Amino acid sequence: MMQEAFDWYEQQKPGLGELFITELNTYFNKLKSNPGFYGKIYKNFRQVVLKKFPYALVYEIIKTDVLLFAVFHTSRNPNFKFKD
């Protein structure tokens, strides 16, 4: 999913895919340093929505680990966030 998004953004404008990856990495670092900051949305799953791109990171905290469950495009049906 992330590679497809990167490729799509790069096709729209060279360098935009890199900005997407940079923003993802910023949020990955935020989750790493303070995973409990974002609230639960379903059972033990939490979500943070990116600011510049229409994606949400869905994750779970298990002990001291942050497990990324999905990089989810916000225009998709939210019922699919928790399905394989």
Average pLDDT for the chain: 89
Question: What is the pTM for the complete model shown?
Answer: 0.83
**Residue 53 covered by a domain:** yes
CATH number assigned to the domain comprising residue 63: 3.30.2310.20
Task: Provide the b/e sequence for 15-54 (b: ≥16 CB within 10 Å).
Answer: eebeebeeebeebeeebeeebeebeeeeeebbbbebeebe
For 52-74, write each residue's pLDDT tens digit: 999 999 999 999 899 999 898 88
Beta bridge partners of 73: 55
Domain with 53, as residue range(s), is 2-77
As for how many domains the chain has, the answer is 1
Do 24 and 32 touch, CB atoms closer than 8 A? no
